[in-house]
Amino acid sequence: MILVDPPVELSYLEAVILGVVEGLTEYLPVSSTGHLTIAEKLLGMPVDAPAVTAYTALIQIGAILATFTYFGKKILRLFLAWVAGLRSAQARQEHDYQLAWAVIVGSLPVVVTALLLKDLISGPLRSLWVVAGALILWSAVMWVAERRHDVLAAQGEQRGEDALTIKDGLVIGLVQCFSLVPGVSRSGATISAGLMRGIDRVTSTELSFFLAIPALTGAGIYETVDNVDALKALGVGPIITGMVVAFVVAYASIAWLLRFVQSNSLVSFIAYRVVLGAILFVVLGAGWLTAT
């Protein structure tokens, strides 16, 4: 007799909770996937089930729509500059055209890597042991990036948006691939890479938002198409509820983070990540929570 796993169910309360978690953590450098995995586990959901893995990616579309809403005018400006640059040599001299290409080129590595490593990402990496380790280990990278930022700022050698290059986009995009490991944090990876390249904190944060658009939209669409039957079991109502909540909370999170980084470092996030990772190791080691 073939045993079939029972379908995963999602209540409206659970959808709201996960929407809040996604919205709060998608753009903060603390790992939204890691926090969603923890929240899903605490809610008693099988975190490595296809429906749960797909929902973790799908709910991010709510946060992406928040980015479109918040940066709508700037995104349109970059798009129009890119289109104009494709038609005119003179338009290709405009910096917005270069910035648009930086975002496009920077988005490609994570898409390719996600497709190549799909089974690993949705399988073995969906473990709280991985989340705990990544939270702590990537915190070291963020700390080094902050130290470099301080040195370059003291020397007056930081660059702003008007000095961003396509190479910056490519390098930051390559580093973004590490965020496919739950616990690393996509924003933590991209902001750190920007700081390491001498880009100021506000510009690095904004670029992180723009790089999220193609990466997370692609992940959400791909997981939806690939797991449409499993997602049906969750219910259309709870899925939409989670996305709407994620949109509202993410919009507020974007506004807050941009104000925060104008005059604050990422040290407080680093400390939080280390503490959370350590707590996870204790909880898992004691057997109070299973890893998957």
pLDDT in tens, 162-215: 899 999 999 999 999 999 999 999 999 999 999 999 999 999 999 999 998 887
Q: What's the confidence (pLDDT) of residue 2?
A: 34
Task: Name the band, by pLDDT with cuts 50, 70 and 90, for residue 6.
Answer: low
C-alpha dist (Å) from residue 9 to 42, 56, 224, 230, 238: 14, 14, 16, 10, 10
Determine contact, residues 197/169, Cβ cutoff 8 Å.
no
Average pLDDT estimate for 60-68 = 90
Q: CA 16, 241, 35, 5 torsion: positive or negative?
A: positive
At 250, which amino acid appears? A
Structure tokens at 110: 């994570």
pTM summary value: 0.88
pLDDT in tens, 116-131: 888 887 778 878 999 9
